[in-house]
Amino acid sequence: MSGEKILVIDDRRENLLFLADSVLRPEGYEVITAMDGKEGLEKARAEQPDLIITDLKMPRMSGLELIEALRREKIPSAVILTTFYGSEQAAIQAFRLGVKDYIVKPYEIHEMLASVERALVEQRLRRETKHLQEGIELSRHLEERVRQLHSLCNIGKALTALHDPEEVMRVSVEAAIYLTEAACGQLFLINSQTRQIETRAVRGPSDPRAMCVQQPGADPLAQQVIQSGKAAASQEGRGPEPVWRLVVPLRTKDKTIGALGVDAKPSRTFSENDRYLLGLLADFAAVAWTNAQLIQGLRERSPAQPEPSARPSDRLAETPPDLRASIAEAERLSQELRNLAAAAQVLAARLQVLSQPRWI
């Protein structure tokens, strides 16, 4: 396998050029060079080569001192040591420091290439194992994201079907706790008449279900989120185990109408994924609540049913203009909810494809 990066360190220029130009580069390896141990260490730090081939005796820093420095700094490059006859004791010490092989000068080209290949095989296996482990972790992460997005789609569909504003608020808090695995949750709204923030739905750690309330005020973090229109998280409390709190804004038509907040379980924090999921849920909740408010208003203002003989055009003409506008807005919000659910479904499907194992 060519293309791997090899650092060659030797204080004799003829040895350096021979190994670089006549042995390694013809095999397709990328070669960088240094003419003493100190320069070699600097290049090892900067280049992170797959393999280092170093001479034993060099000015400024010997091969053994270089190897000790590499191990101290946890530079993972494999190392081959080149020596002359009579350096066996140094070679033994080098093996104790983790050197993969040592080559006695003068050497045959095939001897050096075989040593290089042996050293790189282990590096390749280690790299492939790392990539496999990372792939497994990524697959697990994507599978979890797919599960969460499917749950969010189902929650979005459920909110779409709700036409009672209080039920929308209650279900939104329940869903927030479920998606983020939180201990408790709250929903806050700005009162359209007084313009004051109110707590409208809560569920505590020991409550069996969320309940609707109407209490003036909100905690400082919720007030901050409603004023800024941006999600925020902070640690609350000064006890031995302060609790993490996450709050996201409820927005419709670029206007903040409230906030949705959750408190983490003890010894747990909220991730960026939690913030992302809660933000998506807040979009559903804001649109569903606004839609439910409109539908409730339509029910309260709906005129008496016309005679069955009346034509649809006559019934539409009898509907007051402001009521017709409210009906159109309700239909628009319902479509927006359906679009949100469909977008989440598409994203979940794409993530599911990415999470499937791929065989090469």
List, for residues 108-159, the tens digit of each pLDDT value. Answer: 899 899 888 888 887 777 776 666 666 656 556 666 666 666 677 777 777 8
Mean of pLDDT over the chain: 80
For residue 330, pLDDT beyond 60: no
Greater pLDDT, 302 or 11 = 11
The letter for the amino acid at 31 is V
Pick the range with the lowest mean pLDDT from 38-47, 141-150, 288-297.
141-150
Closest CA to 19 of 139, 140, 109, 146: 109
Radius of gyration of the chain (CA): 34
| Structural domains of the chain, with CATH | 5-107 (3.40.50.2300), 136-355 (3.30.450.40)
pLDDT of residue 62: 87
pLDDT of residue 303: 55
pLDDT of residue 284: 84
For residue 196, pLDDT beyond 80: yes
For residue 86, pLDDT beyond 80: no
pLDDT of residue 264: 94
pLDDT of residue 332: 54
For residue 16, pLDDT beyond 80: yes
